[in-house]
Each structure stands twice: as structure tokens, then as C-alpha cells.
């Protein structure tokens, strides 16, 4: 079981578990402290295929001890001409926070992150919506949307 399966590929449960739920999601980890994610923000809601977009999220250590959190960025092409995985990891950053400390983590998504090989084996960014997911594992994400023109 893995996080970036293709839509419709898994049709039954795994070892009598719930469908699509591995025992530990990708990025799962334990910590001696707790982290809270703020709202995911985009620098712009619409981009040209050649442009970049900044994705930012504020992470706060709400626990009593210092700790590290790994912030993960995934994408999904909502409407494309060929089947693509439901989640594709496009970036991750480790942030070290003291108790009560907040930091803003920023990712830059560009054409290389959104592109794929179409049926003619050309690398393209097709127009349409992309789901941008940010969180601390493949199961625990917040989703926003950007439109490629």
C-alpha cells in the first residue's frame, strides 16, 4: 500500500483493513511534541503554464518540548488527459521549533512540478485545476487549488 496510487486501481481492502488505508501513512512519525498547521496560502490562484506559484503555511509548536516537523507538499492534477496518481510528492522541508515558536514554510511550484508526459510523450502542463496539499503526512493534509491557464 502506498500514497500515490492511481485512481480506481485499489478496489478491495488490504488485510481486512479499510480500503486505501495502510497501517502507517507516508510521512507518518512520532514526536515528543505537537505541531499545529495554519491555513495554506497561495501567492496567486491562477498561473500561466510557464509561471511559478508560492505555497506557504505557518507551523507552530504547541507542545512543551522543542521538536522537528517535516512539512510535505503534494499535488494532484484534477483533470488531465492521462491517468496520474492521486497524490504526487513535490517537496518537503524539515523545520525545528522551540515550544510556542511559529515559522512560515514556503514552497515554490513551477512548470517542472506540474508537468507530465502526455499521450504523444511530450512534457506538458495542461490547462486546468491542480489540488495542492500540504501537511505532515500523506493522510493529514490541507488542500487548496490553483488553476493553470
Q: What is the pLDDT of residues 97-109, one digit of tens each?
A: 999 999 999 999 9
Residue 16 CB partners (closer than 8 Å, separation 6+): none
14 pLDDT more than 80? no
Look at residue 7 in the predicted model and tell me its pLDDT.
67
Strands (E), 44-101: 46-47, 53-61, 67-77, 88-97
Ramachandran sector of residue 128 (left: φ over 0; alpha: ψ -120 to 50; beta: rest) = left
pLDDT tens column, 40-72: 999 999 999 999 999 999 999 999 999 999 999
Name the pLDDT band for 127 (thresholds 50, 70, 90). Answer: very high
136 vs 104: CA distance, rounded Å: 14
pLDDT at res. 21? 66
Average pLDDT along the chain: 89
**pTM of this prediction?**
0.85
Domains of the chain: 35-148 (2.60.40.10)
Amino acid at each position: 500500500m502506498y500514497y500515490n496510487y492511481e485512481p480506481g486501481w485499489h478496489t478491495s481492502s488490504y488485510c481486512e483493513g479499510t480500503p486505501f488505508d495502510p497501517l502507517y501513512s507516508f510521512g507518518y512519525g512520532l514526536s515528543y511534541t505537537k505541531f499545529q498547521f495554519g491555513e495554506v496560502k497561495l501567492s496567486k490562484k491562477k498561473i500561466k503554464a510557464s509561471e511559478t506559484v508560492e505555497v506557504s503555511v505557518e507551523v507552530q509548536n504547541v507542545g512543551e518540548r522543542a521538536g522537528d516537523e517535516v512539512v510535505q507538499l503534494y499535488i494532484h492534477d484534477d483533470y488531465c488527459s492521462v491517468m496520474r496518481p492521486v497524490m504526487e510528492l513535490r517537496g518537503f522541508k524539515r523545520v525545528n521549533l522551540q515550544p510556542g515558536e511559529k515559522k512560515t514554510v514556503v514552497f515554490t511550484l513551477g512548470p517542472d512540478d506540474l508537468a507530465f508526459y502526455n499521450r504523444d510523450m511530450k512534457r506538458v502542463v495542461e490547462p486546468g485545476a491542480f489540488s495542492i496539499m500540504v501537511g505532515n503526512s500523506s493522510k493529514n493534509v490541507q488542500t487548496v487549488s490553483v488553476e493553470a491557464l
